Chains A and B, each alone.
Chain A
Amino acid sequence: EVQLVESGGGLVQPGASLRLSCAASGFIFSSYWMSWVRQAPGKGLEWVANIKQDGSERNYVDSVKGRFTISRDNAKNSVYLQMNSLRVEDTAVYYCAREWNAFDMWGQGTMVSVSS
């Protein structure tokens, strides 16, 4: 089955760290750019970061630069988001998405809540 499955979300305090994972199956993972997109409760979609097929290029939205790191392991068909120095405003559902012309495949999302 062609799918993306995220994991690793949870409730943390401000300043904490969290690592999200996204496991891909059913397609040639190493052929695609991969992205993380988030959605705060009741709000719209915000692209967070993406990574090239071989990991040689990574891009971030300004609000997470220096705090978040995207990475991938093509041998494990997985993409990751290491989130450090988390802020209350990082609270959101985080989706991983395959990028091919558009974000043409999405996971079900994992919730990250940052609260004291």
Chain B
Amino acid sequence: DIQMTQSPSSLSASVGDRVTITCRASQRISYYLNWYQQKPGKAPKVLIYGASSLQSGVPSRFSGSGSGTDFTLTISSLQPEDFATYYCQQSFSIPRTFGQGTKVEIK
């Protein structure tokens, strides 16, 4: 199974900050990496698919990069509605696997 490791596990940031979350795969997964946002009590929502493609309707302050084993999710200017937990997920192979999550909290 491919293990997905996110860092950090949590972070505190202020509105307007630039935030970067990283995700590392235990083996090469090309561009088969997706990012999700989840708010308490709600289903996850896809932000980025294919490592860098912005899902329709997602604000352009979200961006993704990387390939192979190392990936990054960047929020260019954190907004109040962005405080949530973020997960990466590989769609390269079965079983599909998620990172452990990164909780973005208000500083």
**B-binding residues in A (CB < 8 A):** 35, 44-47, 50, 59-62, 95, 99, 101-104, 106-109
Contact = CB atoms under 8 A, between A and B. Distances in A.
Contacts of A95: 43-44
A44 B43 contact: no
A101 B50 contact: yes
User: Which of B38, B43, B94, B98 has the largest count of A CB atoms less than 10 A from its CB?
Assistant: B43
A2 B95 CA distance: 27
B32 to A, nearest CB: 9
Nearest to A57: B94
Contacts of B43: 95, 106-109
Interface of B: 1, 34, 36, 38, 43-46, 49-50, 53, 55, 87, 89, 91, 94-101
B94 A103 contact: no
Contacts of B38: 45
Given A44-B87, A45-B87, A59 B100 contact: no
Contacts of B1: 62
Q: Which of B53, B91, B96, B99 has the most CB of A within 10 A?
A: B96
A102 to B, nearest CB: 4
A74 to B, nearest CB: 22
Given A102-B89, A104-B55, 9 more contacts: A44-B87, A44-B99, A45-B36, A45-B98, A46-B98, A59-B94, A102-B55, A104-B46, A106-B43
- Residue among A61, A102, A107 with most chain B CB within 10 A: A102
Contacts of A60: 95
A11 B100 CA distance: 26
25 contacts: A44-B87, A44-B98, A44-B100, A44-B101, A45-B101, A47-B95, A47-B96, A47-B97, A60-B95, A62-B1, A95-B44, A99-B91, A101-B53, A102-B34, A102-B46, A102-B49, A102-B55, A102-B89, A102-B91, A103-B34, A103-B89, A104-B46, A106-B43, A108-B43, A109-B43
